[in-house]
Amino acid sequence: MNAKAEFVAPPYVANMQRVDSYADIDEILRSEDFMQGSHRESGVFFDGSLLLIEGEEHMRRRQLISSLVSRSAMQYYETGALAPVIEQVMKELREKGRDKDGVVRVDLIPLIRSMLYRINALVTGVDSVDTPEKTERFRDLVDKLGVAVTVEWSTRDHDEVIREGLEIRRQLIEEFLLPSLERRRALVREFRDGKAAKETLPTDLLTMLTLHGDDRRPGDEGYVWRECALFLVASTQTTTHTLPHVIVHLTEWCRTHPADAARCTDPTFLRIAAMESLRLHQPAPTLLRIALKDVTLSSGRRIARDERVALFFVPANRETAVFGPDAAEFNLNRVAPPRLSPWGLTFGGGVHMCIGRPLVTGMFNRPDDKSGTEGTMIRILRTLYEAGAEMDPERPPRRVAASYHDAYESFPLILRKL
């Protein structure tokens, strides 16, 4: 199978230089001669957020925001937010009852979103996501915002997608974000007046922005909502896009390696599977970068000043020279080359490398460094396999039709042991 030939480039990048070699992409992501080039069309939702700023400003903001994903914060999110929500969601499914043939049927896509919403609200600092109605409403708004902030990859009319996204954002601000921000402003005022200790303040994005005066930027009142949009979408859409692929690969793997089926509830085994699957599937079709000057990469590739290039992770992460002759295959016995991450370039690289990776994988700086958390992806997979998850042979998964994302919009699952 030729992974390079298989990849379809979205029309949005048709006129850009296509970079699909692992070494070139790695060099570009780490280089100071390039700046962020993604989200130009969707800038109205993300401009000025951590993902789209550069240099000193980016470094300072990243340092500030990193405390949201510290080890202790991570443990709190996983045990205090994710675990109870997973338990609740599974309980609701159990109560809903079995079909006539004695099994529970469920769609994995809304199920993952239900499991992630609370962690998402906690990290961003969104209150009142506490009743089934409000939770459903919040999930729906974040989900629709996710479509708008990735308009570049949409197969629909882009102006229409942006228009809809702006209206969704307005509703999200009015119903959830503004009341949450106002509560934090009051808490921060109490702290400043000496009436409350700093430790009593919530650890979340909105509190942090309020503490640093970024909730009201002179001349740019909307900044705070764009930073929230990044966190709301980045913390859910990515996992929703990538997790179902793990189940597809594991289903196929266990068919050819039946002895491994019993290991699907083992977090270590699931982590290896998740990493290998993340290498093969990324949450966005490409990342884009702009050259700040004429550049010649070590490979000899030339990129002109101001040129925007498209970084194609799919072929790069399947490069046989890097990951071996079976690089395009899902192989749980693969040993990642020294100094390379098992997920390849999927969490990006350089200064904009994903800040949420430890939350997803349960691993901090090195692939073999465990933080004591399982990681959201592994925890969700374990819960599903403990409930006897199998793909539904009668209802195959349906891929996302309205965008070029390598993702599913529906993924029927059978839970045999719930």
The binding site for ligand HEM (CB under 6 A) comprises 36, 38, 50-51, 62, 69, 123, 230, 234-235, 238-239, 242, 283, 287, 346-348, 352, 354-356, 359-360
122/351 Cα distance (integer angstroms): 25
**In the structure encoding, which two tokens stand for residue 37, read together?**
């080039």
Which CB, 25 or 172, lies closer to ligand HEM? 25
Q: Closest Cα to residue 232, out of 113, 351, 402?
A: 113
With respect to ligand HEM, which residue has the nearer C-beta, 77 or 191? 77
346 or 371: CB nearest ligand HEM: 346
- What is the rounded distance in angstroms from the CA atom of residue 26 to the CA atom of residue 273? 23
Cβ closest to ligand HEM, residue 342 vs residue 356 = 356
Question: What backbone torsions phi and psi does residue 402 show, to the nearest 5 degrees?
Answer: -90, 10
Q: How many residues does the chain have?
A: 418
Q: What is the smallest separation between the CB atom of 266 and ligand HEM, expressed in angstroms? A: 20
Q: What is the DSSP letter of 67?
A: G
Residue 274 CB, nearest distance to ligand HEM (Å)?
A: 8
Residue among 244 and 348 whose Cβ is closer to ligand HEM: 348
Residue 220 CA neighbour count, 13 Å, CB half: 13
Question: Among residues 318 and 352, whose Cβ is nearest to ligand HEM?
Answer: 352
Task: Report DSSP state, residue 10.
Answer: P
- Tell the smallest beta-carbon distance from residue 355 to ligand HEM (Å): 4
CB count within 10 Å of CB 214 equals: 18
User: What DSSP state is assigned to residue 7?
Assistant: P
Closest approach, Cβ 267 to ligand HEM, in A, equals 16
When the beta carbons of 180 and 317 are compared against ligand HEM, the nearer one is 317
Q: Which is nearer to ligand HEM, 47 or 182 (CB)?
A: 47
Instruction: Report, in Å, the least distance between residue 155 CB and ligand HEM.
Output: 22
Closer CB to ligand HEM, 205 or 328, in the complex: 205
Query: Closer to ligand HEM at the Cβ: 230 or 415?
Result: 230
As measured in angstroms, the least distance from the Cβ of 53 to ligand HEM is 8
From the CB of 54, what's the least distance to ligand HEM, in Å? Answer: 9
Contact 90, 112 (CB under 8 A): no
User: Locate tokens 């040993």: which residue?
Assistant: 335
Residue 90 region, left (φ>0) first, then alpha (ψ -120 to 50), else beta?
alpha
- Ramachandran bin of 213, using left for φ above 0, alpha for ψ from -120 to 50, beta for the remaining angles: left
> Minimum distance between the CB of residue 196 and ligand HEM, rounded to whole angstroms?
26
Cβ 136 to ligand HEM shortest distance, Å: 21
By CB atoms closer than 10 A (0-12, 13-18, 19+), residue 323 is buried
Alpha-carbon distances of 186 from 22, 25, 172, rounded to whole Å: 49, 45, 20
Which whole-number Å values give the CA distances from 198 to 187, 191, 370, in the listed order? 10, 6, 29
Question: 346 vs 201, 249, 342, 349, CA distance in Å?
Answer: 34, 17, 9, 9
d(CA 264, CA 388): 10
CB-closest chain residue to ligand HEM: 356
**Closest distance between ligand HEM and the C-beta of residue 308, in Å?**
13
